[in-house]
């Protein structure tokens, strides 16, 4: 693994030059030489997780001790909560329990404490989640995946007036590289445009946002992702950074697209677009979470049969794989 010191130094220099402790210019470290090849999508038929709820969406699968832990979102008709389940193979899930719900009288405002991303960092389980109105990103942490402690305030707040993320920070996804954590997220501006950005942190509590514009812009007029971007899932493999993201069309049909980057900041669309292939996910495919392996990426995702940007889509969780082809 190549050292991330040059990237951290550049970020620190930008902080000094800007005089602001919340923004910096940085890139993600490269971990190996780029390889020739591409990914091909292979869906698995059927639903792998369906809770007793109106919608079951937003899986976040992490390796936890000797099992896989899934921190997923459920909508009960009024409120979004986070539940957890465990699995040996990632296909059969058990032990479902509700772990996080919105806290009344707090910044979370009572509608959502879900749509999050889990990561194991320095032996501790961290869960970054969306809450509040306007939406911001909070943090809960746990030693056993059962008892959770939440930070009192958002850890990734709204941007300043006029910023691309002035009206919302949401849809967190966190990866580790070079001893740092990088958080990809949805930002919304005053024109209600939803695009994707990134921030960096040493501890998950204090984040520095990338200076300037979002890292991924809306698709062109008439494109499948012209109406909004969200729900990034990022990994490093074969000498590049990769991201699955959700795109919304003008009619609110949702699909997932694959983009590629050399540095985690400048992204290029690959042309891979994933649509629902079955009745249960015919209108919505979204919310990817990934576990990369040598020649495949395991992908859990949400799906629904109603074209809507939020809930009441009969949401369920499915599974597929991205297979590496040389």
**Length of the chain as a residue count:** 326
Residue 30 lies inside a defined structural domain of this protein: no
Domain span holding position 252:
37-325
Give the integer Cα–Cα distance in Å for 243 and 216: 10
Residue 304 lies inside a defined structural domain of this protein: yes
Q: How many domains does the chain have?
A: 1
Mean pLDDT per 10-residue section of the chain, whose length is 326 residues: 34 37 89 90 97 97 97 98 98 97 93 97 96 97 97 97 97 97 98 98 97 96 98 97 98 98 98 97 98 97 97 98 97
Neighbours of 41 (CB within 10 A): 18
Predicted local distance difference test score (pLDDT) of residue 15:
36
Neighbours of 263 (CB within 10 A): 15
pTM above 0.75, yes or no: yes
Residue 56 lies inside a defined structural domain of this protein: yes
Give the integer Cα–Cα distance in Å for 58 and 302: 6
Distances in whole angstroms, Cα of residue 115 to Cα of each of 71, 185, 209, 237, 314:
9, 11, 20, 25, 16
Residue 149 lies inside a defined structural domain of this protein: yes
Residue 8 lies inside a defined structural domain of this protein: no
Residue 233 lies inside a defined structural domain of this protein: yes
Identify the bridge partners of residue 196 per DSSP, sorted by sequence position: 186, 216
Give the integer Cα–Cα distance in Å for 76 and 295: 38
- Strands 316-325, 296-304: pairing is antiparallel
- What are the backbone dihedrals phi and psi of residue 23, each rounded to the nearest 5 degrees, phi first? -135, 145
Predicted local distance difference test score (pLDDT) of residue 80:
98
Buried b (16+ CB within 10 A) or exposed e, 250-261: eebbbbbbbbbb
Predicted local distance difference test score (pLDDT) of residue 32:
82
CB 73 within 8 A of CB 82: yes
Distances in whole angstroms, Cα of residue 29 to Cα of each of 2, 4, 10, 176, 266:
7, 5, 12, 10, 13
Neighbours of 164 (CB within 10 A): 21
Residue 26 lies inside a defined structural domain of this protein: no
Cα dihedral: 69, 75, 80, 83 (round 10): -20
Residue 67 lies inside a defined structural domain of this protein: yes
Give the integer Cα–Cα distance in Å for 297 and 291: 6
Predicted local distance difference test score (pLDDT) of residue 3:
32
CB 143 within 8 A of CB 167: no
Laid out side by side, the sheet with 113-121 consists of 113-121, 124-131, 136-142, 149-150
Q: Domain holding 103: CATH number?
A: 2.115.10.20
């Amino acid at each position: 693994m190549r050292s991330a010191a040059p990237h951290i130094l550049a970020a620190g220099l930008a902080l000094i030059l800007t005089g602001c402790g919340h923004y910096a210019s940085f890139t993600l470290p490269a971990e190996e030489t780029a390889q020739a090849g591409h990914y091909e999508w292979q869906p698995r038929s059927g639903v792998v997780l369906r809770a007793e709820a109106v919608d079951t969406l937003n899986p976040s699968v992490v390796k936890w001790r000797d099992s896989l832990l899934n921190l997923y979102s459920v909508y009960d008709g009024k409120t979004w909560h986070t539940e957890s389940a465990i699995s040996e193979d990632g296909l059969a899930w058990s032990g479902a329990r509700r772990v996080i719900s919105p806290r009344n009288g707090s910044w979370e405002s009572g509608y959502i404490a879900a749509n999050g991303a889990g990561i194991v960092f320095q032996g501790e389980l961290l869960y970054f989640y969306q809450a509040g109105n306007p939406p911001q990103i909070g943090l809960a942490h746990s030693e056993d995946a059962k008892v959770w402690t939440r930070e009192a305030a958002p850890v990734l707040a709204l941007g300043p007036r006029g910023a691309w993320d002035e009206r919302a920070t949401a849809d967190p996804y966190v990866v580790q590289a070079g001893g740092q954590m990088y958080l990809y997220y949805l930002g919304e501006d005053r024109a209600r445009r939803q695009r994707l950005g990134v921030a960096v942190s040493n501890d998950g509590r204090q984040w520095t946002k990338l200076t300037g514009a979002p890292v991924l812009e809306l698709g062109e007029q008439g494109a499948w992702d012209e109406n909004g971007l969200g729900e990034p899932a990022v990994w490093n493999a074969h000498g590049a950074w990769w991201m699955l993201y959700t795109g919304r069309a003008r009619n609110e049909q949702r699909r997932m697209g694959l983009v590629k980057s050399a540095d985690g900041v400048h992204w290029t669309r690959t042309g891979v677009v994933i649509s629902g292939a079955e009745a249960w996910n015919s209108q919505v495919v979204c919310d990817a979470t990934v576990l990369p392996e040598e020649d495949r990426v395991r992908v859990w995702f949400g799906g629904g049969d109603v074209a809507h940007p939020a809930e009441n889509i009969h949401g369920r969780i499915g599974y597929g794989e991205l297979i590496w082809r040389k």
